[in-house]
């Protein structure tokens, strides 16, 4: 059986996995990690509870570490879009755990709470931003964050984002980020609107 140590992940990530007590990749992790490490886009049919977050976060963190970059002020390298604040917060907590032995920094932004603290956090050289779509666009319009240097885009629970009416926000976000990027799209179901989004984004 595949072990995390067989996947070629950077040492600080393996150390974090050992600290978290993970030894064996889940099936989606064993499939997705090598694919994402090769720089390919991914369309994943996966539900929460399958280990999906580590499946996309670990290879992305690996690639960020392998290619250190200096960013313009308020620019981020990774954007992870999530339909709800609970999921966004949960993803960011996981990313912090996996990145705990690196200097990579993350933050999370979502609506329904005051914006000041989020704007200040974005001024702090953030590599990885987890966001809900509406609040993200508010903060882009306030010039609190720039999406012009994005290298990785993750659309998590894309079907739920469409159900919650985020289609226009997603279309606008797509116009703000570079065409040259790696895109990872996850959805529990694959109805036609998701397949359309996937073909537009991937
Ligand atoms: P997710 O589907 O990403 O929400 O992950 C579900 C839960 O499984 C989370 O609590 C993770 O911390 C945990 N988890 C993810 N990958 C592994 C793994 N390979 N071994 C053990 N636990 C894991």
The per-residue pLDDT for range 169-178, each reduced to its tens digit, is: 999 999 999 9
Residue identifier of the C-alpha nearest atom 22 of ligand 1: 22
Residue identifier of the C-alpha nearest atom 19 of ligand 1: 25
Q: Is 98 touching ligand 1 by the criterion CB < 6 Å?
A: no
Phi, psi of 75 (to 5 degrees): -90, 150
Is the Cβ–Cβ distance between 87 and 110 less than 8 Å? no
Could you tell me the pTM of the whole model? Answer: 0.96
What are the chain's domains?
A: 27-65+75-201 (3.40.50.300)
Angle at CA 121, nearest 5°, toward 119 and 122?
65
The per-residue pLDDT for range 122-154, each reduced to its tens digit, is: 999 999 999 999 999 999 999 999 999 999 999
* Radius of gyration for the alpha carbons in the chain, expressed in angstroms and rounded: 16
The per-residue pLDDT for range 70-122, each reduced to its tens digit, is: 999 999 999 999 999 999 999 999 999 999 999 999 999 999 999 999 999 99
Is the Cβ–Cβ distance between 39 and 59 less than 8 Å? no
Print the SS3 string covering 159-184. Answer: HHHHHCCCHHHHHHHHHHCCCCCEEE
Rounded Cα gap, residues 104 and 64, in angstroms: 8
């Amino acid at each position: 059986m595949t072990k995390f140590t067989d996947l070629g992940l950077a040492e600080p990530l393996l150390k974090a996995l050992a600290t978290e007590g993970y030894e064996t990749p889940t099936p989606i992790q064993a499939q997705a990690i090598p694919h994402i490490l090769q720089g390919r886009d991914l369309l994943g049919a996966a539900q929460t509870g399958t280990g999906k977050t580590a499946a996309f976060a670990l290879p992305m963190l690996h690639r960020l570490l392998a290619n250190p970059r200096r960013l313009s002020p308020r620019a981020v390298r990774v954007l992870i879009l999530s339909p709800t604040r609970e999921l966004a917060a949960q993803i960011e907590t996981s990313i912090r755990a996996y990145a705990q032995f690196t200097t990579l920094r993350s933050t999370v932004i979502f609506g329904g709470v005051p914006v000041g603290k989020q704007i200040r956090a974005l001024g702090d050289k953030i590599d990885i931003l987890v966001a809900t779509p509406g609040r993200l666009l508010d903060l882009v319009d306030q010039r609190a964050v720039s999406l012009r240097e994005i290298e990785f885009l993750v659309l998590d629970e894309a079907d739920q984002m469409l159900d919650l009416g985020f289609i226009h926000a997603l279309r606008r976000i797509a116009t703000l980020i570079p065409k040259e990027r790696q895109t990872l799209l996850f959805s529990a179901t694959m109805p036609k609107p998701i397949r359309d989004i996937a073909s537009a984004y991937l």
